[in-house]
Amino acid sequence: MRLLALLADTERQLSGSEAREHLIRSGKAIHHTTVYRTLEALTAVGLTHAVHGPGATRYGITGEPHHHTVCQECSHVAALASRHLTEAVGRIEELTGLRPDSSGSLLVFGRCSRCGG
Ligand SMILES: [Zn+2]
Ligand SMILES: [Zn+2]
């Protein structure tokens, strides 16, 4: 439940080890196996979802539909609300026939602002 609150609060897509670091910093010691098991269980029931990009698998809360941006440099994953890209996604499908998979989510690769151009 703390994991769920963590992901909901931050709206972030965290790897298991990042989630564990956050919990430890907030004074909750937790074994990494427990973190991963919990994240897997939450994902299995659809409360969270896994993002398989480069690097560690990230987990995010399943709320508002969103795509994911992935930095190829530092593997940072961020959520991007789908409503911002409705037209772009429609255009991509029109031009290439490519559609988001059943999750409705696209992975967009690039370099994040921290890593620069
Ligand atoms: Zn997500
Ligand atoms: Zn980066």
State the pTM of this model. 0.80
Mean predicted confidence (pLDDT) in 85-96: 94
Give the residue extent of every domain in the chain: 2-110
Distance CA 24, CA 67 (A): 28
CATH T-level topology, domain 2-110? Arc Repressor Mutant, subunit A (1.10.10)
**Ligand 2 centroid to residue 70 C-alpha, Å:** 8
Reduced to 3 states (helix: H, G, I; strand: E, B; else coil), residue 61 is strand
The confidence band for 117, taking pLDDT boundaries of 50, 70 and 90, is low
Q: Which ligand is nearest to the CA of 71?
A: 2
Could you read off the pLDDT of 52-81 as tens digits, one per residue?
A: 877 889 999 888 889 999 898 888 888 999
Could you read off the pLDDT of 3-54 as tens digits, one per residue?
A: 888 887 666 789 999 999 999 998 988 898 999 999 999 999 999 999 987 7
Q: Which ligand is nearest to the CA of 78?
A: 1
Q: Which of 27, 21, 25, 115 is nearest to 71 (CA)?
A: 115
